[in-house]
Amino acid sequence: MQQDERVNILLTGGAGFIGSHILDALLEDSRVGTVRVLDNFSTGKRENIVHHQGHNRFELMEGDIRDYQTCRRAVAGMHLVCHQAALGSVPRSLKDPLLSHDVNVNGTLHILQSSVEEGIRRVVFAASSSTYGDSAVLPKVEDVIGKPLSPYAVTKYVNEIYAEVYARCYGLQFVGLRYFNVFGPRQDPDGPYAAVIPLFMRAAAENKPPVFHGDGSHSRDFTFVANAVEANLRSLFADENLKDGVSPVNQVYNVACGEQHSLRQLWENISQISGCRQEPIAGSPRLGDVKHSLANIDKICHLLGYVGGIKLQEGLQRAWKAFK
């Protein structure tokens, strides 16, 4: 492949919340040729990608990463893989750990092995801040983790270990992106495993009080989806030249803003944007939830040139506009 040739990219989970935003960006990128989306639509939505129907560089392949032969067909003719397909949610993994393991671990292993078999150069995959587990260290630094607090966290950590082994044993390049509470347009407020921001926005839209899991003091590093898209594009196209003796590839990075906000602060911001003044209702803390989360983003900024320029308030304004 010549340097001036476009690269073909397999995007798993491309009909999902984050994946569909990555798809938008890839189809606008002059470096990209064909983008093939592999999705089984278990959590992804057709309406997230329908606007690309008929695009001459877009291919849709309906299938499940749990089927190895499907993965082999999906990677054929591609140069890079952006692996977003997963079964998210800590509570879901507690309810059905076998399913979470099957999708997140076996599915990712199928993607890695298929990539080796088909000569893929690099796999960029969605990792998770849940990997930090019970580590009390703040901010979270990539090489300091604790014990996992949920089956979901285990699956995401296993993916990182497998990626490192495949790089070492088979020469497959990888970049793992530990997302910190990504939010934005197309994030689903429905269902038992919906994330906090779309739930709060639906409460605001209906002028109802939001429900905290706990007293509202839990804190997170909320990350607008455009920042996650930026991290993926920088990872896919990062060169291999050393920076201060370190390669930008075969690394795991935090993807966040480096800012900490409690759930109570989050609701105050949404209240200001929406005009809803309902008082929150305190509920029981959820099993497997970490109390506080805050990312150190020095590594990704230095090695990949990541900016992550959309902070919480601007992100909430964009999300609220789309939500309405």
| pLDDT at residue 118, as a whole number | 96
- Output 185 or 212, whichever has higher pLDDT: 185
pLDDT of 7 strictly over 80: yes
Shortest CA distance to 178 belongs to which of 11, 300, 9, 270?
Answer: 300
Q: How far apart are CA 210 and CA 133, in angstroms?
A: 26
The DSSP 8-state label assigned to residue 137 in this structure reads -
Q: How far apart are CA 99 and CA 78, in angstroms?
A: 28
Q: What are the residue numbers of the active site?
A: 152
Q: Say what percent of the chain tops pLDDT 90.
A: 85
Picking from 4-8, 59-63, 176-180, which range would have the lowest pLDDT averaged per residue?
Answer: 4-8
Residue 194 CA neighbour count, 13 Å, CB half:
17
Shortest CA distance to 151 belongs to which of 169, 128, 173, 174?
Answer: 128
| pLDDT at residue 282, as a whole number | 85
Where do the domains of the chain lie?
A: 7-182+224-257
CATH topology of domain 7-182+224-257: Rossmann fold (3.40.50)
Shortest CA distance to 225 belongs to which of 24, 8, 10, 7?
Answer: 24
Tell me the H-state helices in the chain: 17-28, 68-75, 90-95, 97-101, 107-117, 151-170, 196-205, 225-236, 263-274, 298-304, 312-323
Over residues 193-203, the pLDDT tens digits come to 678 999 999 99
Over residues 44-103, the pLDDT tens digits come to 999 999 999 999 999 999 999 999 999 999 999 999 999 999 998 888 999 999 999 999
pLDDT of 276 strictly over 70: yes
pLDDT-derived band at 28, boundaries 50, 70, 90: very high
Q: How far apart are CA 188 and CA 112, in angstroms?
A: 29
Looking at every residue in the chain, the average pLDDT score rounds to 94
| pLDDT at residue 1, as a whole number | 42
Reported pTM:
0.94
Report strand pairing: 219-220 vs 261-262.
antiparallel
| pLDDT at residue 212, as a whole number | 86
Over residues 237-274, the pLDDT tens digits come to 999 888 889 999 999 999 999 999 999 999 999 999 99
